[in-house]
Amino acid sequence: MDTNQTAGVANEPAPKKKSYTFPIILAVLVIVGGTWGYTKYNHGLHHEETDDAQIDADISPVIPRISGYITEIKVKDNQLVHKGDTLIVLDNRDQQIKLEQAEANLYASQGNLVVANATTSASVASGSTYVANVEVAEAQIEQAKVSVWRTSQDLVRYENLIKDHSITQQEYEQALAAKQTAERQLQVLISQKNAAQRQAKAATSQTAATSRQTGVVNATIKARQADIDNAKLNLSYTIITAPTDGHVSKVNAQLGQYLQAGQSLFSIIANSQPWVVANFKETQLTKMKLGQNVKIHIDAYPDHVFEAKVASFSPATGARFALLPPDNASGNFVKVVQRLPIRIEFKESKDEFIQRLRPGMNVFVDVELD
């Protein structure tokens, strides 16, 4: 071997060693990805999840029942109040005047009742007097009939005696006059009896009329009492109180502001147990049922897991309760997956974190299907 060949062999590069880094990394990625994919797939078989969920709670609106101007505001934003606490005071002068008017009307009606009762009593007394007069007239008529019979008998005897000239003409005429007088007296008494009967009948009618008038006055008194109760009720409405225990929202009211009856002022978020409203797709409801366990993650407290359960399903999808619900019979139909609101309730009511929850907080819900 010559020198040149020896030099060429010395200058050839040494063969490179084969690297296993890339295959190892690729294998690791495949294993990790496969494990993660299998875990997610297996999790999806036994769980349903959604982040379209929020905290909800009882919210009571504060609404005035009567119109009026605000004279006092007793609460501030976010203040804790208890049921019955005074929130807002309205000007009550109009209601006070109406109450006094209603009381005055009641007193007047009560006076009318006294008059009606007195009139009824007088009518009853008059009726009794007229009935007594009728009875007296009947007794006098019987007496007059006896007198007519006696004078008639005397006249018959005197007629026989005058034929025999046993009595004078004057005595006969006196007997005739006595009979005629008795007959006229009987007619007078009969007329007096008829008049007394008519008066008694009129008195009875008057008594019935005054009795009905008493009933009308009694009904008027009840109406006036109802007016007083209504005036007192409206007067009580000038003080707006808290309907429940809870925290006041932003107070949208100012001193001197005129409020309309039924106008919403602000709300009170009750201290009752909050719950979660989760809107699941209809395709997620296949295996869901009442009583299933739920894991809840709240953005405000990411390190705390809340235990809950499925409490109820909405009777209709959320779209059906929209202001303008969809009508698939009009226009072109485009199928859209609907969502159904589901109520989820917390299991641990004494969890201190639950007391920190506020309506509207975002929630991630994980329902365990098994």
* pLDDT tens sequence across 125-175: 666 666 666 777 777 777 777 777 777 777 777 777 777 766 677 776 777
What is this structure's pTM?
Answer: 0.64
The pLDDT assigned to 211 comes to 65
pLDDT digits (tens, 9 = 90+) for 191-232: 777 777 677 676 666 666 666 677 777 888 888 899 999 999
| Residues 270-274: contacts with CB under 8 Å, at least 24 apart | 270/57, 270/58, 270/59, 270/60, 270/244, 270/245, 270/246, 271/244, 271/245, 271/246, 271/247, 272/57, 272/58, 273/345, 273/346, 273/349, 273/354, 274/55, 274/56, 274/57, 274/346, 274/354, 274/357, 274/359
Return d(Cα 63, Cα 69) in angstroms, integer.
14
The pLDDT assigned to 209 comes to 64
The pLDDT assigned to 367 comes to 94
Sequence-distant (6+) residues with CB within 8 A of 278 are 50, 52, 53, 341, 342, 344, 363, 365
Strand blocks (E) in the chain = 47-56, 59-62, 68-73, 80-81, 86-90, 239-241, 246-248, 258-259, 266-270, 275-281, 293-298, 301-313, 339-346, 362-368
Positions in the chain whose pLDDT score sits under 70: 1-19, 43-44, 120-133, 165-167, 172, 197, 200, 202-212, 330-331
Q: Which amino acid is at 316?
A: A
The pLDDT assigned to 5 comes to 53
Sequence-distant (6+) residues with CB within 8 A of 341 are 277, 278, 279, 314, 317, 318
pLDDT digits (tens, 9 = 90+) for 257-268: 999 999 989 999
Q: How many C-alpha atoms does 73 have within 13 Å on its Cβ side?
A: 19
Provide the 3-class DSSP secondary structure of residue 270: strand
The pLDDT assigned to 203 comes to 67
